[in-house]
Amino acid sequence: MKLFAILFTCLLTYAPLAAAQQGPIVIRFSHVVAADTPKGKAAVRFQQLAEQATNGRVRVQIYPNSQLYRDREELEALQLGAVEMIAPSLSKFGPLDAREFEVFDLPFLFPDEAALHRITNGPIGAGMLQRLRLKGVIGLAFWDNGFKSFSANRPLLAPTDMAGLRMRIQPSRVLDAQMRALGAQPMAMRFGEVYAALEAGVVDGTENPHSNFYTQNLQNVQSHLTVSNHGYLGYVVIVNRKFWEGLPSDIRQALEAAMREATLYAGSIAQEENERALEAIRASGETQVHVLTEAELKEWKSALAPVSVEMADHIGAQLISDIRQAIEAP
As a whole number of angstroms, the distance between CA 17 and CA 304 comes to 57
Which C-beta is closer to ligand LMR: that of 54 or that of 228? 228
CB atoms within 10 A of CB 258: 22
Q: Is 89 in the site for ligand LMR (CB under 6 A)?
A: yes
As a whole number of angstroms, the distance between CA 199 and CA 22 comes to 49
Closest distance of CB 31 from ligand LMR, Å: 7
Q: Is 170 in the site for ligand LMR (CB under 6 A)?
A: yes
Query: Phi, psi (5° rounding) for residue 182?
Result: -95, 5
Task: Report the length, in residues, of the chain.
Answer: 330
HSE (CB half, 13 Å, CA atoms) of 223? 4
Strands 232-240 and 137-147: antiparallel
**Of the listed pieces 5-13, 31-39, 41-49, 290-298, which binds ligand LMR according to CB under 6 A?**
31-39
Q: Is 229 in the site for ligand LMR (CB under 6 A)?
A: no
Closest distance of CB 198 from ligand LMR, Å: 12
Q: Is 292 in the site for ligand LMR (CB under 6 A)?
A: no
Closest distance of CB 298 from ligand LMR, Å: 27
- Listed in order, strand segments (DSSP E) in the chain are 25-30, 58-63, 85-86, 137-147, 149-152, 166-169, 185-188, 206-208, 224-227, 232-240, 288-291
Reference 206, options 157, 250, 148, 140; nearest CA is 148
As a whole number of angstroms, the distance between CA 229 and CA 153 comes to 19
Which C-beta is closer to ligand LMR: that of 33 or that of 128? 33
Q: Is 30 in the site for ligand LMR (CB under 6 A)?
A: no
Closest distance of CB 235 from ligand LMR, Å: 7
Q: Is 212 in the site for ligand LMR (CB under 6 A)?
A: yes
Q: Is 254 in the site for ligand LMR (CB under 6 A)?
A: no
DSSP code string of 201-258? TS-SBEEE-HHHHHHTTGGGT-SEEEE---SEEEEEEEEEHHHHHTS-HHHHHHHHHH
The angle at the Cα of 38, spanning 320 to 25, to the nearest 5 degrees, equals 100
HSE (CB half, 13 Å, CA atoms) of 98? 25
Which C-beta is closer to ligand LMR: that of 54 or that of 66? 66
Q: Looking at 108, 142, 191, 300, which residue binds ligand LMR (CB under 6 A)? A: 191
Q: Is 151 in the site for ligand LMR (CB under 6 A)?
A: no
Query: Phi, psi (5° rounding) for residue 28?
Result: -90, 120
Q: Is 232 in the site for ligand LMR (CB under 6 A)?
A: no
Q: Is 42 in the site for ligand LMR (CB under 6 A)?
A: no
CB atoms within 10 A of CB 117: 15
Closest distance of CB 302 from ligand LMR, Å: 26
Q: Looking at 25, 28, 29, 33, which residue binds ligand LMR (CB under 6 A)? A: 33
Closest distance of CB 105 from ligand LMR, Å: 11
As a whole number of angstroms, the distance between CA 160 and CA 183 comes to 7
**Of the listed pieces 32-40, 51-59, 76-84, 95-103, which binds ligand LMR according to CB under 6 A?**
32-40
211: Cβ contacts below 8 Å, ≥ 6 apart: 37, 38, 145, 146, 270, 273, 274, 277
Q: Looking at 27, 28, 30, 32, which residue binds ligand LMR (CB under 6 A)? A: 32
Q: Looking at 151, 172, 178, 208, which residue binds ligand LMR (CB under 6 A)? A: 208
Q: Is 226 in the site for ligand LMR (CB under 6 A)?
A: no
User: Which 260-289 positions form the footprint of ligand LMR (CB under 6 A)?
Assistant: none
Q: Is 172 in the site for ligand LMR (CB under 6 A)?
A: no
**Site for ligand LMR, rule CB under 6 A:** 32-33, 39, 89, 145, 170, 191, 208, 212, 233
